[in-house]
Amino acid sequence: MHELIDHPCVQHKLAIIRDVDTGHKRFRELATEITKFICYEALKNIKVKETVVQTPVAKATCKKIDTDLVVVPILRAGVGMLEGILELVPTARVGFVGLYRDEVTKQPVSYYQRLPAQARGGTCIIIDPMIATGGSTVAAIELLKESGAAKIVVVCIVTCPEGLALVEGAHPDVPIYTAAIDDHLNEDKYIVPGLGDAGDRLFGTSQ
């Protein structure tokens, strides 16, 4: 299942972040802003519990989040979205997954994994600016399932039909939230029109 967040504010920011003339400072700011909007929607169904608080006037029955939230950026570009979700849920814990593509098999290989204990039985939110082929996302989901996550949600900024098909085919129980579903992958496995290399644009490492 996937959901396209087509709010005008999100789409306006998406137009700016796509622009080739947007520098790395503004790109990072926009990634944070867009992530916050998408995560707002992605977390709308998380578990809550009722609690009673004393206001200056009277007691009020309120709701608080009742699950351990673990944000899991896929290295390295996912780190560029981390601030956005932590501004929304500052008590969330953070884990990291590092993956690279094997040159022979073309399959993702994990080179780093560090998850807090709360990932087991908690709600894990995978963040990565782009789901292109979908291979890294599928691998990250599998790692989290093996770690005992009770619920997994994927948040990205841009994806494409090929990436969605692979992830949803492998893990139909994991919802994906995105600001854009672009046209296709080109022969170099870049999303068209996409964002270019999100990691390079986030961290200013492009040539």
Residue 19 among the catalytic residues: no
Phi, psi torsion values for 140, nearest 5 degrees: -65, -40
Task: Name which of 178, 182, 175 is nearest 196 in CA terms.
Answer: 182
Residue 197 among the catalytic residues: yes
Query: From edge to edge, which strands make up the β-sheet containing 180-181?
Result: 130-131, 158-159, 180-181
* The residue type at 98: G
Residue 6 among the catalytic residues: no
Which among 55, 61, 91, 105 is annotated as catalytic? Answer: 105
Token pair 């090929």: residue? 162
Which among 26, 93, 101, 120 is annotated as catalytic? Answer: 101
Task: Name which of 89, 43, 86, 48 is nearest 67 in CA terms.
Answer: 48
Task: Name which of 76, 92, 70 is nearest 152 in CA terms.
Answer: 70
Residue 200 among the catalytic residues: yes
> Which residues are tagged catalytic?
101, 105, 197, 200
